[in-house]
Structure 1
Amino acid sequence: MPSYAPVAPALLPALLLGLAAVLALPGCANMERERKASALQASTNAYREALRWGYWRAAVELLHPDAREELDLEPLENIRVTSLEVVRPMSITPDGKALRLVQIDYVLEDEQRVKRVLDRQDWRWDDSLAAWLLHSGLPAF
């Protein structure tokens, strides 16, 4: 029967710590994905509610700074969103992007006319802010 040399007692804690670190790596990656997915859900929910209730300034806060340039909110005061329905659900790509298609029904207050727009939302993860930002801008009402 072969005999194995015992591991030096001083090396055992380092060996166990290294093994634990290697085993935890996939778990950390999963936790990071889950954290980003949860943050995306929170951002899209906040954006949906801001549009639904006409909180345009709150919706703009979720936009990427490039999408905020030269944005005039005054015409949006004439719009009342009546429904938002996800047409194509979102999935997160490995490079930190998420696309979804949303159908938005709204009323032009001054004309009392119901309209519909398909909004292609391009969400991207920003590492510096640790947040999702909407790069596609506000819907084209």
Structure 2
Amino acid sequence: MRRLLFLPLLLAALLLAGCATDKRNQSLTATLNAYANTLRWGDFQTAEQFVDPEVREKHPVSALDRARYQQLKVSDYNDDAGPVPDGENQVRQTVQINLVNIHTQTERSVIDHQIWRYDPAKNRWWLTSGLPDVSQQ
């Protein structure tokens, strides 16, 4: 009799775990798409809101970096490789971002190694690696 009760409970637990994973994956897809679209429009100020609040507090964006972001336009954001799981609540993603300097009209690429952390309590993904380093040569 115990076995008959255990099986439905086990199935229910597995279904709930599957639902949580689906919710997390949907949240990741929505977050990565929103972040990519924000950067494609060159809106680095809004993109900063995707950065983990603890990271923002410990490493605020400098005035110099803000000035750099203002003089650049994003001409391409290539995230074709997609996110790669790196633990239960973390993914990594490598993105190539093509930038055009609005003053010189020269284009260059930077590689952005992103690390995203999932907060299950808020069903939210946070960028822990910070905004792209546009000072790369």
Shared fold per TM-score greater than 0.5: yes
After superposition, the CA RMSD in angstroms is 2.1
Decide which of 64, 80, 83 is 1:90's aligned counterpart: 83
Taking structure 1 as the reference length, the TM-score comes to 0.80
Question: Runs of 4+ in structure 1 displaced over 6 angstroms?
Answer: none
Q: Which residue of 1 aligns with 2:130?
A: 137
Instruction: Provide the residue aligned with 1:21 in structure 2.
Output: 9
Q: CA deviation at 1:24?
A: 1.4
Higher radius of gyration, 1 or 2: 1
> For 2:47, which of 55, 59, 64 is the aligned residue?
59
Q: Any gaps of 5 or more consecutive residues in structure 1?
A: 1-6, 8-14
TM-score normalised per structure 2: 0.82
Task: Tell me the secondary structure at the aligned position of residue 35 of structure 2.
Answer: helix
Residue identity in the other structure for 2:109: R
Contact kept? 1:37, 1:92, Cα under 8 Å: no
Match of 1:123 in 2: 116
User: Could you say which residue in structure 2 is the equivalent of 1:46?
Assistant: 34
Unmatched runs of 5 consecutive residues or more in structure 2? none
Q: Aligned to 1:89, what secondary structure does the other structure show?
A: coil
Q: Counterpart in 2 of 1:74? A: 67
In structure 2, C-alpha distance between the alignment counterparts of 1:63 and 1:128, rounded to whole Å: 17
Give a deviation string over 1:55-108, Cα, whole Å, max 9, x none: 222211110124323203232111100111125321334420000111111101
